[in-house]
Amino acid sequence: MSKTQRGKVLAVNISDAKGTKKTNVGSCTLLKDFGLKGDAHGGSWHRQVSLLANESIEKMKAKGLQVSFGDFAENITTEGIDLVNLPIGSEIRIGNSIVLRVTQIGKECHERCAIYYQAGDCVMPKEGIFAEVVKEGEVKVGDEITIEKSEARNPKFETISKS
């Protein structure tokens, strides 16, 4: 059984260094097999693009933290998509041309990064997801996100590729 989820892009965030907050640039080119043009996390690996739901950011705000889009180093901030429960391999369609494939749910943090110390907590290890760019294009704030997914659920930290 399949169910379609629809949401939208609230922010497109990049940074020039890993482990730091990202800045919402409004729009950016997603490059096939790389990630966001100009972003420190781009490259030929399975975590080319990171996504975090605004619903997760709102949880941190409810704890009294002053956080916003990009503060958890996510590339794309979404709304209306249950990211953390997407099966590995799910295709995320953004706008008319972009296709991302989910490669990892959550991540293991071996040490507390600048984001943890700046925000007081980090939701990325628990609720962020990672994807590779299958079809490139320009991503911008307001773009529609569509996901066709099965009801299956994969365990956290599972990845398609360890490369």
Please choose, from the candidates 104, 7, 93, 88, the residue with its C-alpha nearest in 3D space to the C-alpha of residue 48.
104
Q: Sort strands 35-36 and 27-31 into parallel, antiparallel or unpaired.
A: antiparallel
Please state the pTM of the whole predicted model: 0.85
Are 91 and 2 within 8 A, CB to CB? no
Tens of pLDDT, residue by residue over 24-42, are 999 999 999 999 999 999 9
Q: Does domain 10-149 have CATH number 2.40.33.20?
A: yes
What is the model's pLDDT at position 23? 96
Position 151 scores a pLDDT of 47
Edge-to-edge strand list for the sheet holding 35-36: 35-36, 27-31, 137-140
Res. 147: pLDDT tops 80: yes
Tokens representing 37?
A: 């043009």
> What ranges do the domains of the chain cover?
10-149
